[in-house]
């Protein structure tokens, strides 16, 4: 909250992102980037805050920020975090399953129909019944590992270009994807969103 407070004016006026002590400044050209950087440094100086130079990077085309790799046109999951996903062992306890789902939930915006796919796994963490892992859970577990291993990329949206929104629903969840044409003219997802239904919502009719 402190960082958001001291940067509240800049956040509303400039293209910068702040999360706790992580600051991301971005721009279309170097001149504007320098201006924004100087403005951010001035706020830090005025509040007696200091940066560790070895933790800073300037004027780069690729940067790691909050577990994401951000490039000029796309956002990727951190390959370091994905390195062992295929070797992730099948969970045998609720604690182990929650650990896997914690990883998945962090990157869920990269995965189409995530809530629907993960539904049986999430249900297993909420039940008071004895642990009963079956083929349904195995299929969901393998599907998620394969989807994350494909390392999908999200397009950074351009607000001046048209978007295409697609929605879908099943008995257990709803989902949507926002598309936009990339530099090659091909449709690419800007992000996925999905939500699992509660018991009452699962009684609703689903129409094509």
- Both 190 and 128 in a single domain? yes
Same domain? For 178 and 142 the reply is yes
Which of 171, 194, 179, 169 has the alpha carbon at shortest distance from 108? 194
Q: Which range of residues forms the domain containing residue 45? A: 2-59
What's the CA dihedral at 162, 153, 58, 67 to 10 degrees? 120
What pLDDT does 206 receive? 62
Whether residue 89 is found in the same domain as residue 189: yes
Specify whether the CB–CB gap between 178 and 185 falls below 8 A: no
Q: Which two tokens stand for residue 11?
A: 């956040």
The beta-carbon contacts of 124-128 under 8 Å, at least 24 apart in sequence, are 124/94, 124/97, 125/94, 125/97, 125/98, 125/101
pLDDT for the residue 89: 95
Query: Closest Cα to residue 15, out of 70, 79, 78, 77?
Result: 70
pTM metric for this prediction: 0.81
Q: Exposed e or buried b for every residue in 107-125, given b needs 16+ CB within 10 A? A: bbbbbbbbbbbbbbbbebe
66 assigned to some structural domain: no
In Å, what is the CA distance from 43 to each residue of 20, 33, 37, 84?
Answer: 15, 16, 10, 40
> Considering the domain boundaries, does residue 69 fall inside one?
no
Last residue of a domain, one of 31, 59, 87: 59
How does pLDDT run along the chain (208 residues), one tens digit per residue?
Answer: 777 788 888 877 777 888 888 899 988 889 999 999 999 999 889 999 898 999 999 999 999 998 899 998 999 999 988 888 999 999 999 999 999 999 999 999 999 999 999 999 999 998 777 889 999 999 999 999 999 999 889 999 998 999 999 998 888 888 999 999 998 889 999 999 999 888 777 777 766 6
Domain membership of residue 122 (yes or no) is: yes
In a domain, 72, yes or no: no
pLDDT given at position 207: 65
Within-domain flag for 118: yes
Q: What's phi and psi for 42, nearest 5 deg? A: -65, -40
- Helices 135-149 and 94-106: crossing angle, nearest 10°? 30
Domain shared by 29 and 86, yes or no:
no
Count of the separate structural domains present in the chain: 2
Q: What is the pLDDT of residue 208?
A: 61
79-99: burial string, b at 16+ Cβ within 10 Å, e else: eeebeebeeeeebeeeeebee
């Amino acid at each position: 909250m402190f960082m958001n407070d001291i940067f509240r004016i800049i956040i509303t006026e400039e293209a910068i992102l702040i999360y706790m002590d992580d600051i991301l400044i971005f721009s279309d050209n170097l001149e504007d980037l320098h201006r924004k950087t100087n403005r951010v440094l001035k706020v830090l100086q005025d509040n007696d805050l200091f940066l560790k130079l070895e933790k800073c990077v300037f004027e780069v085309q690729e940067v790691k920020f909050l577990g994401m790799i951000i490039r000029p046109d796309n956002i990727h999951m951190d390959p370091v975090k994905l390195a062992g996903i295929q070797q992730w062992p099948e969970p045998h306890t609720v604690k182990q399953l929650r650990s896997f789902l914690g990883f998945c939930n962090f990157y869920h915006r990269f995965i189409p129909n995530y809530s629907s796919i993960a539904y049986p796994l999430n249900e297993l963490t909420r039940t008071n019944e004895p642990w009963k892992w079956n083929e349904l859970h195995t299929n969901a577990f393998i599907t998620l590992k394969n989807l994350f291993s494909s390392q999908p990329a999200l397009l950074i949206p351009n607000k001046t270009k048209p978007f295409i929104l697609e929605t879908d629903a099943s008995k257990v969840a709803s989902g949507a994807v926002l598309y936009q044409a990339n530099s090659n003219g091909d449709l690419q997802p800007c992000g996925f969103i999905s939500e699992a239904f509660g018991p009452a919502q699962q009684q609703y009719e689903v129409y094509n």
